[in-house]
Amino acid sequence: MSCDSNRFVITKGYDNTFEFTIKANGSTLPMEIDVSDSFTAELVLLEDSSVALSKSLTIVDALSGRVQLVITEAESNGLSTEKGTKVDRYYVKPMYKLVIECNTLN
C-alpha cells in the first residue's frame, strides 16, 4: 500500500508500506539524507496522547529524501478501530495521529 494522499489509512490484517519525502523547513524541495540521519515514526492515540506504536523508518532514496514506514500485519491487527453510526454511513473514525521525528545534519 502506498500513501499518495494526505489521508493516512492503515489497513488491518495486511502489511502496510508508506513512503514519505522529507523536506527542509520552509522548502518544497526534498532534503538530501545523510547516512547518519535517523527517522522515527510514532502512532499516537488521539484519546490520551499515549504512543501506541514506535518504529524506525528506513531510507529508500537518500538523494530524493525518501523514507519508508512498514507496519506489519501483526502490528496493524493490534490497533484499535471505531466506526461511525449508520446515519453517518459507518465512516472510519480517526483514532491515531502519525508523528515523524527527524534527526538530521540539515
Q: Are 2 and 16 in contact (CB under 8 A)?
A: no
- Residue spans of alpha helices (H) in the chain: 73-77
Q: What share of the chain is helix, strand, coil (3-state, %, to 5)?
A: 10, 40, 55
23 beta partners: 30
Summarize pLDDT for 58-79 with one digit per residue, the tens. Answer: 999 999 999 999 999 999 999 9
Report CA-CA distances (Å) from 79 to 5, 24, 68.
21, 31, 20
Summarize pLDDT for 24-40 with one digit per residue, the tens. Answer: 888 899 999 999 999 99
- Strand pairing report for 38-45 and 16-21: unpaired
